[in-house]
Amino acid sequence: MTEFYRSFNHYWAYSCIFALFLIPKATLAADQIAASRRTAIVRAVEQVQPAVVSVYVTFTEHVQRPYWERDPIYGFFYPRSSLVPLERTSSGSGLIVDSEGHILTNDHVIGSKRKLQHIEITLQDGRSFSADYIGSDTSFDLALIKAQGDQLPVAPLGDSDDILVGEWAIAIGNPFDVGVSVSVGVVSGINRNFPQVQGDYYYRDLIQTDASINPGNSGGPLINALGEVIGINSFIHTGSSNNIGSIGIGFAIPSNTARSFLDEITHHGKVRRPWTGILRLQNITPRLAEGLDLPSTNGALIVDLVPEGPAYTAGLRRWDALVAVNDDKIITAQQARLVLQGFRVDEQCTLTVMRDGETLDLTLLLTEEPQRPGRWY
């Protein structure tokens, strides 16, 4: 029996010694695992997510009365009498960019200003505030609203010129109104241009990402692994006319473009509309191309412009063929209009034109649109 107790005591002593070595190692392993969970992505989300809001826009839409409520005779002569107002609410996302409560979002999230009734924003901490509409830049699908609240979290805009293709890209927003959500991918490309209008907007110089972006993400931020806001998520490409959700091709407006928009609002109280002094553009037909000694029908023909206007001062003349603006090759007159409308007042751009068989590069300084009747570009 004495031998048994002696063996038991030895076993217990060895077990205690072993435990003294094992417990610190187990604790260390747990600490390492806990530390490994807090990745750069987690830290970046923690930094920006509190400033991401859900945006709810209430608007009035006129719809047809039920057929049994319509007067067929009166409705024939007064078609609008069969319409009744109906309040509806749409949702999107936004980003608080300063301590005064200014929130950056997409213009298409706000929708028609004539139908707009009320804007409400909801924060991550559960607080809700009314918001006032401040202004929009329809050339870039950006809008600014202001929340009627205090002690709001802020996520300042970063530098979108400092982007690496292939680096982490994190999209934060309120897809399908399920609540603010996070999706992760990479920066797939930069300086993406869409020559055709997407909805009501012409997009250029976009950031492409494969981070999942869906309806409701619009207006939310795209951030990098440092927690810097590099873009405003705006739309997706699905390869189809059907809205089938994200297939990994999403686009964000660069943060520097958004900062330029904010500067316009801050310093001028509005987005000043740039003016070139070009009165009329048209597509180039095969007959025009032959008559003007042009190599192809690509480009936009300058039909009329304001004497002494910015374009005229830059050296542009009637019947010049505008074939490029900076690095954008011009194919149609519509594209030329949209590209020119995308510049800011006091910005310069290079116009490449063909005249009498020669190619000329002209420097255009855009000014603010004058208060005159007529159509300007």
Q: Which residues are catalytic?
A: 108, 141, 218
* CA separation, residue 320 to residues 204, 315, 355 (Å): 25, 10, 5
Q: Is the dihedral of CA 72, 76, 81, 84 positive or negative?
A: positive
Neighbours of 262 (CB within 10 A): 17
Lookup: tokens for 363: 């420097």
Neighbours of 316 (CB within 10 A): 22
SS3 181: strand
DSSP 8-class letter at 296: S
* DSSP string across 140-181: TTEEEEEES-SS-----B--TTS--TTSEEEEEE-GGGS-SE
Cα atoms in the 13 Å half-sphere on the side-chain side of 366: 24
DSSP 8-class letter at 146: E
Lookup: tokens for 300: 């936009």
Instruction: Give dist(CA 132, CA 147) in Å, integer.
Output: 7
Instruction: Give dist(CA 340, CA 97) in Å, integer.
Output: 28
Strand partners, 93: 54
